[in-house]
Amino acid sequence: MAYTVVGSLTQTIPRILSEDEQYPISDEGKQLIDSLSNKVAPMRKFLAGSKEEAEGEAMSLETRMRETANRAEDVLEHFMYEHLKVVRSKAVVERTDAIQYDFRELQIVMEEINSIAQEVERIQPEIMQHDGRPTTQPGVIPSSETKPPVIDNATVGLEEQVKKIKGLLCGGSLERQVIPITGMGGIGKTTLARAVYEDQEVVKKFDVWAWIVVSQNYRIENVFEKLASALETQVEKGVVNDGDTVEEKLHRILSLKKYLIVVDDLWSAKAWDSIRKGFGNQDKKDGSRIMVTTRDEDVAAHASGSKQSHKMDLMDDPTSWELLKLKVSPNTQLKPDMEIIARDVAKDCGGLPLAIVLIAGILSTAEKSPVSWGKIAEDVKNAVESDKEFGQRIALSYTHLPFQLRPCFLYMGGFPEDHEIQISKLFKLWIAEGFVKDEKDAEVHLYNLVKRNLPLITAFKSSGNFKTCTIHDMVREMSKSKAIDENYERRMSIGHPDLTGLARGYASTLRSVICFQPNDSSLRSLRKFKLLRVLDVVDTDAYSLPTSVFDLFHLRYLAFGCPMEVPSAISRLQNLRSLIIHPSKRSKKYSTDEVCLPVEIWMMPLLTHLVSFFDLFPNPEGAASALKNLLSLSVVKKLICTEEMMKLICNVKKLSVTYFGHMYKEDYKLNNLVLLTQLENLTLAVKKGSPFQLKAKPVFPETLKELTLSGWRFPWKDMKSIAALPHLQVLKLRDHAFEGSTWDTIGDNSEECDEEGNAIEDIDEECEDDLNTAEDTNEECYTFEDMMNEENRNEDYKETENKLFLELKYLLIEESDLENWVTKKEHFPALERLVLKDCGKLKEIPNDIGDIPRLKLIEIDRFNESLLNCVYEIQKHQKKNLGKNIIVKKL
């Protein structure tokens, strides 16, 4: 934490010194801040070069640095806030006194900083001589290693247990059964349940399935909502209605369908009694199953009505070694001296898979030398000898973290138990806090944490990038403990139910407030949190934000759910980078299509991400300036893509726009989308009825990597322009994006070739006439050799035209009237995943699809039996004749 806090201070100092006009500082004040800057730079250099697992004098010094840098930054940011507040209020105040007061506070801090600087100068030579380890900045990954780490879900040592649980799920009595899996935290209960839940043989045995997480702080209404949402997408239309309550939906689905439900992380008998009410008739006899994971055997017995459960034991030494080897060096043999050390480490982990995986993360990122690994082995041994529990072994993962990664990890540990963290949101929060510079930097930090197995990746985007993650309960508890040790709670509050109480202890220092529980009254306390950089109050019950929020000068990330218009005062937040406006649950009944963002949004030059789920984007006025830092603009309505607008958002990389076909018929100038030369991700949707008459169809920039179209009803022949996009990797076609019975990538392509061929015939005829004439005149003519050269050029042209969807990895067609798909494997050379959902008229796909070399997964609507059978035949053919295993998943 010391490294991060000192780094944050080095960013704050120039903000005051470089803006003389905004902050009129006396010469004495400038000298003091200059002196602070000069002292802080060596401190950060010292921290970057010292060992991560500092001890003794170095650890004590780092603690002093952290606390002093925090105090210094608090003083400077308080000064900036108060000064700006005075300017805005135009109050008649003697500003010099206020400035002098702040500087006197800074003088006190400087005395401690001077003392620290002397200590650094004294002990730095000793600290820098450490084991021959590299002195590069900790946590920085070389550019060659910034690719995403491979997520290995191998179930080492669980093969027999998977087989046993599968037998219980797929065979036995037709009565509904509850199957508990018990064992201590970190032993692999969820891993085992997930392996069975995703098994192809198991999936085929059930009509619907769902996974719900309960945890200690569950809310029963949220559990039922998630369960109903997961099941509703798996049943045919008419089983449930939009007006049904959650309870009615659950009752109808679970009464009619054979189901498999996993209740993960159940903590109490009381929780089970609340949850089982949603599962309908317990006397149902169709082979439905409920799988429960819990640490408590009494809870397991209560849920199943039996003392029998599948209890997981600790791993033996050979299996522990197998797991460690897989995680550390799966494809290469370790040197003998390294293997001896690694086997000892595996044994010292006591058979707990979580401890093995975390220690493996440390080994795999450490220097590959006996000395380095020997020290890690010694740490594990000391932890075992000092404490029979596994907490200290797990804590080693933090001890060995580079300084830059520590605050990122602690921030993740602050989220509620079993909460799935959206990685795109996490990146924005890290940037707002100053932990990383940008999303690329954030990505590197996340990859480095994943390599250490601290966050668990729980979902992937269609592009293959990480989408969500979570943290194991034991790792989270360790994180909370370390946050207290590091005095980190002074800067961050996530999920605190009472901001009023929080304000009493930390109002003057808090940088982040993220609320997960509805709480209206506490928002009035926000005026006390003057130094906030992050404010997320999406889930509160407030109808609007207090006006004091718009005085939070340091705010960089603001997310809220509000049914009212965003006030023009939003432009006062000049440091804001991310603005996210959600339609909160309460606001849905009040919001309309005409809720608008203020035109002052164009006066926020640092704005990088604007996500507005129900607002209109204002047309620029004469005074509008380009939002050159804007990278993402989602989800705005009825954007008119004038040339002026495109210039104002010229650097946007992600754009999502919704149009309303039954109300508006104006020209939205979508041909100007081609002017967005940085655009990589585009979503265009038409809602509520048939589309309007377009005066200009979209023209897509060649930079596109992801494209989502919904509701447009384009003819399939228009797909040619999309197929030609050279970098397109993800294509999602929803809600009749294209209309027509046939999509023919062969005929549409060859038609142009035929036309080209006809042109060649015409040339042949003309050349023949010219040859006849040449016999009489001896004039030069278009010779046979020339003709062959021209024909070869035309063949090259045809070959180029044949290359469609060159980089497309993911294709989704959802809600389509498509009946015939005519294509060949060469047109989708990179396709890895094909999803066909609600395509009721499509009864088969070309066999050639199965021959696509990279294809791994085909997902099909479970109600389209003809299409499913076709895909199963393709799967069977590929496995039998080519040994290729294409996974088929029912949606």
CA–CA distances in Å: residue 569 to residues 475, 553, 565, 572, 645: 41, 12, 11, 6, 23
Q: Are 436 and 426 in contact (CB under 8 A)?
A: no
pLDDT class of 386 with cuts at 50, 70, 90: low
If one compares 348 and 467, the residue with the highest pLDDT of the two is 467
Residue with tokens 């909370």: 480
Residue 517's pLDDT is 66
Burial 323-350 (b: 16+ CB within 10 A, else e): bbbbbbbeeeebeeebeebbbbbbbbbb
**Strands 421-422, 466-471: parallel, antiparallel or unpaired by DSSP?**
antiparallel
Burial 539-577 (b: 16+ CB within 10 A, else e): bbebeebeeebbbbbbbbbbbbbbbeebbeebbbbebbb
For the segment 825-845, the average pLDDT, to the nearest whole number, is: 92
Cα–chain-centroid distance for residue 850?
30
Nearest to 143 by CA among 443, 366, 359, 363: 443
pLDDT class of 4 with cuts at 50, 70, 90: confident
Please report how many Cα atoms fall inside a 13 Å half-sphere around the Cα of residue 890, on the Cβ side. Answer: 23
Report pLDDT digits (tens) over 615-659. 677 877 765 778 999 999 987 887 888 888 999 999 999 999 988
Cβ neighbours of residue 606 under 8 Å, at least 6 residues apart? 574, 575, 576, 577, 629
Nearest to 535 by CA among 493, 503, 482: 493
Residue 722's pLDDT is 94
Report pLDDT digits (tens) over 671-692. 999 999 999 999 998 886 655 6
Q: For the ranges 293-297, 452-456, 663-667, which has the lowest average pLDDT?
A: 663-667
Global pTM value? 0.79
Report pLDDT digits (tens) over 249-292. 888 898 889 999 999 988 888 889 888 888 878 788 888 999 99
Distance between CA atoms of 862 and 207, rounded to whole angstroms?
9
pLDDT at 8 over 90: no
Distance between CA atoms of 12 and 23, rounded to whole angstroms?
13
Amino acid at 89: S
For the segment 702-716, the average pLDDT, to the nearest whole number, is: 93
pLDDT at 764 over 70: no
pLDDT class of 576 with cuts at 50, 70, 90: very high
Report pLDDT digits (tens) over 396-426. 788 888 888 888 998 888 888 878 899 999 9
Copy the structure tokens of residue 250: 């659950």
Q: Are 10 and 40 in contact (CB under 8 A)?
A: yes
Nearest to 876 by CA among 866, 888, 864, 867: 888
Residue 832's pLDDT is 93
Annotate 213-248 with DSSP letters as a single string: E--TT--HHHHHHHHHHHHHTTS-TTSS-TT--HHH
Copy the structure tokens of residue 186: 């970190």
Distance between CA atoms of 866 and 119, rounded to whole angstroms?
76
Residue 134's pLDDT is 38
% residues pLDDT > 70 (the chain): 77
Report pLDDT digits (tens) over 151-162. 666 678 888 899
Nearest to 239 by CA among 225, 253, 224, 255: 253
pLDDT class of 21 with cuts at 50, 70, 90: low
- The sign of the dihedral angle between the CA atoms of 742, 747, 748, 749 is positive
Q: Are 811 and 828 in contact (CB under 8 A)?
A: yes
Residue 816's pLDDT is 92
Strand order in the sheet with 177-182: 208-213, 259-266, 289-294, 177-182, 310-311
Distance between CA atoms of 192 and 255, rounded to whole angstroms?
28
pLDDT class of 495 with cuts at 50, 70, 90: low
Report pLDDT digits (tens) over 164-221. 999 889 887 888 889 999 888 888 888 899 999 988 888 888 999 999 988 777 788 8
Amino acid at 730: V
% residues pLDDT > 90 (the chain): 21
Q: Are 106 and 75 in contact (CB under 8 A)?
A: yes
Residue 562's pLDDT is 66
Report pLDDT digits (tens) over 220-233. 888 888 898 889 88
Burial of 214 per CB tally in 10 Å (0-12, 13-18, 19+): buried
Count CB neighbours of 744 within 10 A: 17
Angle at 855 between CA 852 and CA 859, to 5 degrees: 125
pLDDT class of 709 with cuts at 50, 70, 90: very high
Q: Are 701 and 652 in contact (CB under 8 A)?
A: no
Distance between CA atoms of 454 and 401, rounded to whole angstroms?
10
Can you tell me whether residue 580 is helix, strand or coil?
strand
Residue with tokens 């048939």: 690
Residue 772's pLDDT is 37
Instruction: Round the average pLDDT of the chain to a whole number and report it.
Output: 79
Copy the structure tokens of residue 776: 């009489």
Can you tell me whether residue 401 is helix, strand or coil?
coil
